[in-house]
Amino acid sequence: MTSAHLSLTAATALAVPVALLVDRWFGEPRVRLHPVVRMGNFLAWAGAWVQRHTRQTTLQDRPGSKSGSVALDQRSDYKAFGLGALVWCAQAAIFFVAAGVLQGGVVWLMRAATTVNPWLAVLVGAVLLGLLLKPLLAWAMLQSEVLAVEAALDQSLDAGRERLRWLVSRDVTQLTDTQVRESAIETLAENLNDSVVAPVFWFLLLGLPGAALYRFANTADAMWGYPGVYKGENWAWAGKWAARADDVLSWVPARITALLLLLVQGARGLGLLARLPAEAIKTPSPNSGWPMAAMALSLKVALRKPGVYVLNPQGRAAQAADTSLALIYASKTVLALVGFAQAAMFFIAFEGVR
């Protein structure tokens, strides 16, 4: 491994804590400058295009059909799937390449700084990569949103339901105060992976393009990855590629998130490892169940989505104190992630010079 590669490896490792510090001190960038907002805008436009160019026939159009049910003829299914996949790949390539160009600019500046001092190059790289990585993370905002739900619940159940609506797509109108709290804790656990662990994982593996690719895939899944009709549009096949791509890219990070959530508790967490897989597979998603189950087991509470699943069913009802404890466990997980990131990159650098 050359000195330039060693410098980039060190800068990549240090960029993670830099990004998290910027996230804590300054929060999210302005909307017009936020790359994830740009991704969402592109996806909204492209999704509308896909829907316009895909002929869909629903059972509501047919006499005697049951309201709310949907069926698509197979030819239309394949067309929707193909267009959705093609548009996804095209947009993903744009953001991947754009991130690669930005990282290439950082590398060029690092090489220039190396002529002055090698450590200056590492510092320049860490700061610039950290600043570019930050918009692809959303840890501080996730914490504040979960706390906002708990604060709203203190005011009234209706206020809690309304605040939760900002975080979840499920119907919140019939949720009890316990179910509102459970939903907020589930969102914390799931997005601990989606908004922190997974972007960092792909950043360490593939650099800034990897983090951008993951964030795009996760955003596309949130906007397109529905198994049926959502907001009047049928995504059963048009969004299937987006949903499966996010599943693939989240598979390893979701399990890392769950493992870290338990490991930060020491011996007690290790004792819960054997119960984790059986609880994690209860959710329809192949990934979200892992961090949510780890959180349920850690808090000794039941987390449920009415009519869909119950994680740790023998657990007690979630209380206000459990929201605070969940945030503590999640914060420790982020700190552990930073530590493991530094260790992993140090190991890569060490192996490169042997």
What whole-number distance in Å separates Cα of residue 212 and Cα of residue 100? 9
Please check the confidence at residue 352 and state whether its pLDDT lies above 90: no
What whole-number distance in Å separates Cα of residue 240 and Cα of residue 289? 19
Is 63 part of a structural domain of the chain?
no
Q: What pLDDT digit, counting tens, does each position of 11-21 carry? A: 999 999 999 99
- Compute how many other C-beta atoms are within 10 angstroms of the C-beta atom of residue 11: 24
Q: Comparing 73-87, 201-215, 233-247, which segment has the lowest mean pLDDT?
A: 73-87
Range of the domain at 25: 3-58+72-353
Q: Counting Cβ atoms within 10 Å, is residue 186 exposed (0-12), middle (13-18) or buried (19+)?
A: buried
Residue 354 confidence (pLDDT): 59
* 285-290 long-range contacts, CB within 8 A, separation 24+: 285/247, 286/247, 286/251, 287/193, 287/247, 287/250, 287/251, 287/254, 287/255, 288/190, 288/193, 288/254, 290/193, 290/254, 290/255, 290/257, 290/258
Q: Comparing 60-74, 134-148, 185-199, which segment has the lowest mean pLDDT?
A: 60-74
The dihedrals phi and psi of 11, each to the nearest 5 degrees, come to: -65, -40
Beta-carbon contacts of residue 259 (< 8 Å; ≥ 6 apart): 273, 294
Beta-carbon contacts of residue 1 (< 8 Å; ≥ 6 apart): 9, 349, 352, 353
> C-alpha dihedral over 66, 69, 73, 79, to 10 degrees?
150
Query: Of residues 63 and 260, which shows the higher confidence score?
Result: 260
Which has the closest alpha carbon to 333: 268, 281, 259, 275? 259
Q: What pLDDT digit, counting tens, does each position of 145-183 carry? A: 999 999 999 999 999 999 999 998 888 999 999 999 999
Is 65 part of a structural domain of the chain?
no
Residue 233 confidence (pLDDT): 85
β-strands 229-230, 233-234: how paired?
antiparallel
Is 331 part of a structural domain of the chain?
yes
> C-alpha dihedral over 219, 190, 154, 147, to 10 degrees?
-70
Is 158 part of a structural domain of the chain?
yes
The answer to whether 213 and 202 are in contact (CB under 8 A) is yes
* CA distances from residue 134 to 19, 44, 215, 334 in whole angstroms, order as listed: 5, 23, 12, 14
Tokens of 139: 């840890």
Tell me what percent of the residues of the chain surpass a pLDDT of 90: 77
Please check the confidence at residue 112 and state whether its pLDDT lies above 80: yes
Is 67 part of a structural domain of the chain?
no
Is 138 part of a structural domain of the chain?
yes
Q: What is the CA radius of gyration of the chain?
A: 22
Q: Comparing 201-215, 224-238, 267-281, which segment has the lowest mean pLDDT?
A: 224-238
**Average pLDDT estimate for 264-289:** 95
Q: What pLDDT digit, counting tens, does each position of 28-76 carry? A: 999 988 999 999 999 999 999 999 888 554 444 444 434 344 444 444 5
Residue 74 confidence (pLDDT): 46
Residue 63 confidence (pLDDT): 41
Please check the confidence at residue 213 and state whether its pLDDT lies above 80: yes
Residue 348 confidence (pLDDT): 73
Q: What pLDDT digit, counting tens, does each position of 293-334 carry? A: 999 999 999 999 988 999 999 999 999 999 999 999 999 999
Residue 191 confidence (pLDDT): 97
Please check the confidence at residue 119 and state whether its pLDDT lies above 60: yes
Residue 50, Cα to own-chain centre: how many angstroms?
24
Which has the closest alpha carbon to 152: 165, 171, 138? 165
Domain count, the chain: 1
Looking at the whole model, is its pTM more than 0.85? yes
Is 205 part of a structural domain of the chain?
yes
Residue 353 confidence (pLDDT): 55
Residue 76 confidence (pLDDT): 57
What whole-number distance in Å separates Cα of residue 8 and Cα of residue 13? 9
Residue 71 confidence (pLDDT): 47
Residue 78 confidence (pLDDT): 85
Phi/psi region, residue 66 (left: phi>0; alpha: psi -120 to 50; beta: rest), is beta
What whole-number distance in Å separates Cα of residue 336 and Cα of residue 342? 10
Is 64 part of a structural domain of the chain?
no
Beta-carbon contacts of residue 113 (< 8 Å; ≥ 6 apart): 120, 121, 123, 124
> Which single residue is written with the structure tokens 């740790």?
312
Residue 72 confidence (pLDDT): 46
Count the alpha carbons within 13 Å of 345 in the hemisphere toward its beta carbon: 25
